[in-house]
Amino acid sequence: MKIYLNLSFPQLAARYADLPSDGVGLLRSEFLALALGVHPRKLLAEGGAEAFIRLFAEGLTEVARCFWPRPVTFRTLDLKSNEYRGLRGGQEFEEPEENPALGLRGCRRYLYDPEPFRLQLRAVRRVYEAGWTNVRLMLPFVRSVSELLACREILREEGVGDIPLWIMVEVPSVVFLIEQFLPLVDGISIGTNDLTQLILGVDRDNPRLIPLWDERDEAVMRAVEQVVRACRKRGMECCVCGDAPSRRPEIVTSLLPLGLTSLSVSPEAFERTAQLVRTVEPHSDLPNPL
């Protein structure tokens, strides 16, 4: 059982790289885009493609360097239309949506508006070609096999087709059809935050519904189990990178017997999670963080 870290800010990589983790299971790229502060289309219109690539490449290089040779899983952007609209140029370049959580996000956005996705891939390629071969790519909010195939084609065109490719399982359609996705990727990471929202039909951002947004629900656990079982059959890595194990330590003891190969948790939850894993998995070869 591996334990990875979830990171959002590359500048914090140095602080957390000393933890005896197995690497970064989820590097959220959204904060790089928010740091740029401008809608990607606006930036492109202003001739800022190189600034975009450079910022992303520098952020990823910092994390890859700090964690070398452990893997660093770079998740491409999963900002929603309401978040894009908050950026400079957002009102001009981003149409308002009634329901951004179900809107133009994740992989679907890459097909609708490929250029910002291509810039991210160019950043990843630059980092990889500079020798940081511990990076891997992860696509968020995949909804269908056809979408994944179309994204893989773009990866190939951008020269990153050989970099290990992971996808997030966040949409129930992927759970039901998981066997069709597995031959197309190198690893799976279950995003329990969005998956719970969509399985239970509960808006994760609505404070009045928070008590209902519960990953421990039997329906969510069954979905996780189904994905893990399919991965085990193919001998593939299967991780949970949603916040469930970080926010609810008790869920770790329910998740481990399902046969996950890894968990990815917030740095604050690392030591507690490692301890729990040792308790449930007495022969764990994890380094003792205490």
Cα-based distances in Å from 106 to 69, 169, 194, 268: 28, 11, 12, 27
CB of 28 to ligand PEP, least distance (A): 6
Specify the stretch interacting with ligand PEP by CB under 6 A; choose among 46-54, 83-91, 185-193, 272-280: 185-193
DSSP codes of every residue in 80-127:
-HHHHHTSBTHHHH----S-GGGSS-HHHHHHHSHHHHHHHHHHHHHH
> In the complex with ligand PEP, which residue's Cβ is closer, 78 or 94?
78
Residues facing 2 on adjacent strands? 262
- Is 192 a binding residue for ligand PEP by CB under 6 A? The answer is yes
Cα-based distances in Å from 205 to 106, 174, 212, 272: 18, 22, 12, 27
CB of 143 to ligand PEP, least distance (A): 13
The crossing angle, in degrees rounded to 10, of helices 114-129 and 49-67 is 40
Contact 25, 264 (CB under 8 A): yes
CB of 282 to ligand PEP, least distance (A): 29
Specify the stretch interacting with ligand PEP by CB under 6 A; choose among 102-110, 121-129, 188-196, 217-225: 188-196
- Is 241 a binding residue for ligand PEP by CB under 6 A? The answer is yes
Any idea which residue has 């990889």 for tokens? 128
> In the complex with ligand PEP, which residue's Cβ is closer, 59 or 191?
191
- Is 215 a binding residue for ligand PEP by CB under 6 A? The answer is no
Q: Of these partners, ligand PEP, Mg ion, none, which one is at the site of residue 171 (CB under 5 to 8 Å by kind)?
A: none
> In the complex with Mg ion, which residue's Cβ is closer, 72 or 171?
171
- Is 143 a binding residue for ligand PEP by CB under 6 A? The answer is no
Q: Which of 167, 191, 198, 238 binds ligand PEP (CB under 6 A)?
A: 191
Specify the stretch interacting with ligand PEP by CB under 6 A; choose among 96-104, 120-128, 155-163, 187-195: 187-195
> In the complex with ligand PEP, which residue's Cβ is closer, 94 or 194?
194
Q: Which residues contact Mg ion (rule: CB under 5 A)?
A: 170, 191, 194
Checking 88-92 for CB contacts under 8 A at 24+ apart, the result is: 88/37, 88/38, 88/39, 88/42, 89/38, 89/39, 89/41, 89/42, 89/43, 89/45, 90/39, 90/42, 92/39, 92/42
Cα-based distances in Å from 290 to 141, 271, 272, 278: 36, 7, 10, 12
- Is 89 a binding residue for ligand PEP by CB under 6 A? The answer is no
Specify the stretch interacting with ligand PEP by CB under 6 A; choose among 112-120, 189-197, 219-227, 277-285: 189-197
Alpha-carbon distance 218 to 179, whole Å? 22
- HSE (side-chain half, CA atoms, 13 Å) at 17: 17
> In the complex with ligand PEP, which residue's Cβ is closer, 61 or 192?
192
CB of 78 to ligand PEP, least distance (A): 6
- Is 262 a binding residue for ligand PEP by CB under 6 A? The answer is no
- Is 242 a binding residue for ligand PEP by CB under 6 A? The answer is yes
Alpha-carbon distance 64 to 133, whole Å? 8
Residue of 189, 213, 209 whose CA lies nearest to 200: 213
Residues in touch with ligand PEP (CB under 6 A): 26, 28, 78, 170, 191-194, 241-242
